[in-house]
A and B are shown apart, each in its own frame.
Chain A
């Protein structure tokens, strides 16, 4: 956690009393400037954000003031039991809390500090949780959900009365999600009980530190935000990153990175321990499988992703900690700073999708701050080569691109309001004031807040049907109280904001002599139900490193056997989950436009771009290139906005609607992270040049108006989002006392609820929450809007005789990917015979 530094920076002995100073000395350490800075801020009671790269001793810096304070406090009043913790530490991962507890043990033991440290997560046994309420530790390490639960407790006021410090670890990862919203509201609630509390945010480097700084302190009005102090640690040693080189041809498209496998294997062989990061679970499966095929030295290579059975994951983690593994192929489940073992090399397969992510992952290669991390990037196709190159440049200049903190979600606010009522009756004015001190909720007006209260009480419908059964009621003095204790019980069972897709267990079984499936076997892990639903018995797929044959569904379990074939029949690809960051998109555009920078690209890629310039054109950094060309009886249009798949998908939906209206007869489209391809029966190039639909008019910003609304109303995307909002807001409860319900078994499908609500009360609070969510997360509408305004008047249309080199990758994607939702009717049409023929009068 701490590394030696060479230069003593300031003479601040007063900040570091004994036994701390002695302890530092005994280890040959000098306190780092940022550690002393944090101590100084703490001493004057100021909240602070610490921005530091991995390995900079962030965690100890965060805890040091609390440890010093507690040691002094213990001297003053020994053995007095406390009402509640002095310091709360909140991390996004349960495992991280446990890990930190272990790391704190050493300094506490070595200095003989009378400080108790305990964790409290969803895994903590009930009796220990009960005990923690009676005999609280000095420092409690926990998760956002536990904070919400503790706040909703009737003893909350007493329990938090002695709270002095709240430390948020990996704050940059927390704040951009609904969990972050819940936590922001929780922090506002903690301040109610401990108005003087001070916060410490620990974060990796971010694009906009001010968002995090504002998040940490109470806000007063929606105007200029108040900010915490900030302590910034310069980056450690520059990581040593390179793009992999291999003999094989770099593929035009695809995500397998198979071409580079031998080189990846050689790299693993040449290093002690390697982490191989990929973007999706299926990529992890595929790569793991392929590596073992060429693993002639039978190196211990393991697989780790979130869907694997927990015991299996724990095994891998333990083996890793003991340095028994040479490589682990893993997904983002290992992104955050859990500290295990010595990692010598990080290999990143596929595009890094955002420089922050890349920086974080590379940070894993070395928790020794002052030594350079070793990393190799493995692009899976040519566009990814460009993206990797841009990411590399980004990492060198330290550019960071975490998304800005957006307005707090209303479904989360509803959950929080119910939680507030669980603790004690609340006054709406007071709670509203408190909520608006939370940075993401600073702009929530009173009318909206009242709507939220109405929603919590009876669903908030214009038709007042449910008053008799309200969850919370107004008392004569105007305060709101819980209508019945059972409401509190159900709140506690359903707290949280993580809504997973319904999962089913995968059980590996054998076949008996008669060919019958045996009912018993090992559980390999869990997989999304929707994935299984696309399969028929006999189909093979890849999971937990093996090719499996789908046999049957039995009581919510998938029974599989080992498949004989080596290649799975169902190719699983769920890539592009993370949009290309704005920064990288710009970097890639810059790279294309600047020929001088091509020398840093592999020969094949350079040649590809040269031919593109010859056959078509390469756009300048600010331009949007649109190509049209015929091919095999169809007409194509390919645009290269580099705005990420989500934005392109939305753009594709909207453009095809407009093209349809102008008679281009579009047949379909495909979106990648880099480009958008549309094919049609009519020549779109002629349409653009003929002046009937100038290309500028096609991309006009009003695209985001009525067309968007009309399309969205029908879209499965909104239904899926609505489901999440319904669950988070507790309109639908996943768990009921006495029975564990899975997401699937909600008795009324949320799709049906959505349809009815949209038709009869389209401006209901949940519809608003759904729209906000979808616009930001799923559709990237904001980004699309910025793009449309950026390219206005700067669209370059090129009519070609045939496909251009740049267009090849997107054309290769056609057929591999279908656009969700829209295809439903066509599947039905394929499967059956229509019984109604429509006729026009």
Chain B
């Protein structure tokens, strides 16, 4: 009988060409650009759970904790010099006030060990900086523009955005699986939402239509449990 492995498995990642760069896509939904030692996570939607309480819907108030624990984990794995939260980091304007002390400490720790960049989003046009970090409307790194909402129309500068919470569905074996994904073509990529309570929008939805010059160029990277799977347009739009 095989002994159970004592040490945790070490993963070998492969970088892919997306949105004008060669980056590693992590199954957590974050992206790591090794060349610039930059880690990006989109749409954390902190305190989304507690935002429902005003309507007397009491979702488990642990989503921020869960989201930040996952972020801390991926940061520990890649040790980036820069962390970009790509907008909608806070679910609403008062989310910062509701964030627990413990969760605040996690943010403070992350912001203390790297250049923490809060990109503004439609949910958080003024993200709180109580726990550190700096706020920018968008940021250009290595010739790639990181912004919350994808710009409309064709791009001249490669672009990485969030906002749309892409999910893809693939079927096989008489079943289908729906999961969060990175989706993009050569010049533009949309990242999956990172937050624990963030759902998704099917990449076949019209909101994605204007983003790619040709559908045949689109590739998606689906987040499995411990792996990311690259899927081509023939399976995505079948």
How far apart sit A830 and B60, CA to CA, in the bound complex (Å)?
A: 35
Residues of A within 8 A of B76 (CB): none
**B197, A533: Cβ atoms closer than 8 Å:** no
How far apart sit A755 and B52, CA to CA, in the bound complex (Å)?
A: 18
Binds B, one of A92-100, A127-135, A757-765, A783-791: A757-765
How far apart sit A838 and B13, CA to CA, in the bound complex (Å)?
A: 9
Contact of B225 with A by CB under 8 A: yes
Binds B, one of A60-68, A69-77, A107-115, A744-752: A744-752
How far apart sit A839 and B226, CA to CA, in the bound complex (Å)?
A: 13
Closest Cβ of chain B to A364, distance in Å, is 34
Residues of A within 8 A of B62 (CB): 461, 463, 756-757, 759-761
Closest Cβ of chain A to B10, distance in Å, is 6
Contact of B227 with A by CB under 8 A: yes
**B5, A840: Cβ atoms closer than 8 Å:** yes
- In the complex, residue of chain B having the shortest beta-carbon distance to the beta carbon of A749: B199
Select which of B59, B98, B174, B179 is within 8 A of A459 by beta carbon: B59
Closest Cβ of chain A to B60, distance in Å, is 4
**A832, B63: Cβ atoms closer than 8 Å:** no
**B66, A760: Cβ atoms closer than 8 Å:** yes
Q: Which of B9, B27, B173 has the most CB of A within 10 A?
A: B173
Residues of B within 8 A of A474 (CB): none
**A841, B14: Cβ atoms closer than 8 Å:** no
Residues of B within 8 A of A841 (CB): 7, 9-10
**A756, B196: Cβ atoms closer than 8 Å:** yes
Residues of A within 8 A of B57 (CB): 731-733
**B173, A823: Cβ atoms closer than 8 Å:** yes
Taking CB atoms and an 8 Å cut-off, the chain A residues in 366-384 that contact chain B are none
Contact of A820 with B by CB under 8 A: yes
Taking CB atoms and an 8 Å cut-off, the chain A residues in 440-495 that contact chain B are 458-459, 461, 463, 465-466, 468-471, 483-484, 487, 490
Taking CB atoms and an 8 Å cut-off, the chain B residues in 170-222 that contact chain A are 170-179, 196-199, 221-222
Contact of A818 with B by CB under 8 A: yes
**B11, A828: Cβ atoms closer than 8 Å:** no
Q: Given the interface contacts A748-B48, A835-B229, does A818 sit within 8 Å of B174 by beta carbon? A: yes
- In the complex, residue of chain A having the shortest beta-carbon distance to the beta carbon of B63: A756
How far apart sit A533 and B198, CA to CA, in the bound complex (Å)?
A: 21
- In the complex, residue of chain B having the shortest beta-carbon distance to the beta carbon of A761: B60
Contact of B12 with A by CB under 8 A: yes
Contact of A663 with B by CB under 8 A: yes
How far apart sit A663 and B2, CA to CA, in the bound complex (Å)?
A: 7
Residues of A within 8 A of B59 (CB): 459, 731, 748, 753
**A465, B13: Cβ atoms closer than 8 Å:** no
Residues of A within 8 A of B178 (CB): 533
Interface residues as binary, B58-69 with A (CB distance below 8 Å gives 1, 0 otherwise): 111111011000
Q: Which of A764, A827, A832, A834 has the most CB of B within 10 A?
A: A832
How far apart sit A824 and B173, CA to CA, in the bound complex (Å)?
A: 10
Chain B contact residues (Cβ within 8 angstroms of A): what range? 35 or more
How far apart sit A833 and B179, CA to CA, in the bound complex (Å)?
A: 15
Contact of B230 with A by CB under 8 A: yes
Closest Cβ of chain A to B101, distance in Å, is 12
Closest Cβ of chain A to B199, distance in Å, is 5
Chain A contact residues (Cβ within 8 angstroms of B): what range? 35 or more
How far apart sit A68 and B188, CA to CA, in the bound complex (Å)?
A: 80
Q: Given the interface contacts A471-B56, A757-B60, does A465 sit within 8 Å of B50 by beta carbon? A: yes
Q: Given the interface contacts A536-B171, A823-B175, does A752 sit within 8 Å of B197 by beta carbon? A: yes
**B5, A835: Cβ atoms closer than 8 Å:** no
Residues of A within 8 A of B231 (CB): 831-832
**A834, B48: Cβ atoms closer than 8 Å:** no
How far apart sit A436 and B14, CA to CA, in the bound complex (Å)?
A: 60
Select which of B7, B53, B60, B175 is within 8 A of A764 by beta carbon: B60
Closest Cβ of chain A to B192, distance in Å, is 13
**A756, B60: Cβ atoms closer than 8 Å:** yes
Residues of A within 8 A of B225 (CB): 825
Q: Given the interface contacts A458-B58, A466-B58, A839-B10, does A748 sit within 8 Å of B52 by beta carbon? A: yes
Closest Cβ of chain B to A686, distance in Å, is 14
How far apart sit A418 and B23, CA to CA, in the bound complex (Å)?
A: 52
Q: Given the interface contacts A828-B179, A830-B173, A841-B10, does A835 sit within 8 Å of B221 by beta carbon? A: yes
Interface residues as binary, A314-330 with B (CB distance below 8 Å gives 1, 0 otherwise): 00000000000000000
Taking CB atoms and an 8 Å cut-off, the chain A residues in 796-841 that contact chain B are 818, 820, 823-841
Contact of A522 with B by CB under 8 A: no
Q: Which of A465, A732, A818 has the most CB of B within 10 A?
A: A465
How far apart sit A458 and B171, CA to CA, in the bound complex (Å)?
A: 40
**A469, B53: Cβ atoms closer than 8 Å:** yes
How far apart sit A499 and B24, CA to CA, in the bound complex (Å)?
A: 42
Contact of A662 with B by CB under 8 A: yes
**A731, B173: Cβ atoms closer than 8 Å:** no
**B175, A663: Cβ atoms closer than 8 Å:** no
Residues of B within 8 A of A824 (CB): 175, 177, 224
**B222, A832: Cβ atoms closer than 8 Å:** yes
Q: Given the interface contacts A663-B1, A748-B197, does A818 sit within 8 Å of B60 by beta carbon? A: no
Contact of B141 with A by CB under 8 A: no
- In the complex, residue of chain B having the shortest beta-carbon distance to the beta carbon of A731: B58
**B229, A818: Cβ atoms closer than 8 Å:** no
Closest Cβ of chain A to B229, distance in Å, is 3
Q: Which of B13, B178, B197 has the most CB of A within 10 A?
A: B197
**A487, B56: Cβ atoms closer than 8 Å:** yes
How far apart sit A825 and B170, CA to CA, in the bound complex (Å)?
A: 11
Contact of B169 with A by CB under 8 A: yes
Residues of B within 8 A of A837 (CB): 11-12, 14
**B229, A831: Cβ atoms closer than 8 Å:** yes
How far apart sit A835 and B179, CA to CA, in the bound complex (Å)?
A: 16
Closest Cβ of chain A to B238, distance in Å, is 5
Contact of A27 with B by CB under 8 A: no
**A662, B1: Cβ atoms closer than 8 Å:** yes
Closest Cβ of chain A to B72, distance in Å, is 14
Q: Given the interface contacts A835-B14, A840-B9, A841-B10, does A753 sit within 8 Å of B58 by beta carbon? A: no
Residues of B within 8 A of A818 (CB): 173-175
How far apart sit A828 and B62, CA to CA, in the bound complex (Å)?
A: 29
**A831, B63: Cβ atoms closer than 8 Å:** no
Taking CB atoms and an 8 Å cut-off, the chain B residues in 35-71 that contact chain A are 48-50, 52-54, 56-63, 65-66
Q: Given the interface contacts A465-B53, A752-B196, does A838 sit within 8 Å of B176 by beta carbon? A: no
How far apart sit A749 and B60, CA to CA, in the bound complex (Å)?
A: 12
Residues of A within 8 A of B174 (CB): 534, 818
Residues of A within 8 A of B60 (CB): 459, 461, 753, 756-757, 760-761, 764
How far apart sit A837 and B14, CA to CA, in the bound complex (Å)?
A: 9
Residues of A within 8 A of B50 (CB): 465-466
Residues of A within 8 A of B49 (CB): 748, 756
- In the complex, residue of chain B having the shortest beta-carbon distance to the beta carbon of A490: B56
Q: Given the interface contacts A466-B58, A469-B53, A761-B60, does A832 sit within 8 Å of B12 by beta carbon? A: no
Residues of A within 8 A of B177 (CB): 824, 827-828
Residues of B within 8 A of A487 (CB): 56
Q: Given the interface contacts A463-B62, A756-B66, A760-B62, does A833 sit within 8 Å of B229 by beta carbon? A: yes
Select which of B1, B54, B175, B199 is within 8 A of A534 by beta carbon: B175
How far apart sit A466 and B55, CA to CA, in the bound complex (Å)?
A: 11
**A835, B230: Cβ atoms closer than 8 Å:** yes
Closest Cβ of chain B to A119, distance in Å, is 33
Contact of B119 with A by CB under 8 A: no
Listed from nearest, the 10 A-B pairs whose CB atoms lie closest are A459-B58, A832-B229, A760-B62, A465-B61, A832-B231, A831-B170, A757-B60, A835-B228, A827-B172, A466-B53
15 contacts between A and B (CB under 8 A): A459-B60, A466-B58, A470-B56, A533-B178, A748-B199, A752-B199, A756-B62, A759-B62, A825-B227, A828-B177, A831-B222, A833-B230, A835-B228, A838-B12, A839-B10
Knowing that A461-B62, A471-B56, A836-B11 touch, tell me 19 more A-B residue pairs with CB under 8 angstroms. Answer: A459-B60, A463-B62, A469-B53, A470-B56, A752-B197, A756-B49, A756-B62, A756-B196, A760-B65, A824-B224, A828-B224, A828-B227, A834-B229, A835-B14, A835-B230, A836-B14, A836-B228, A838-B10, A841-B7
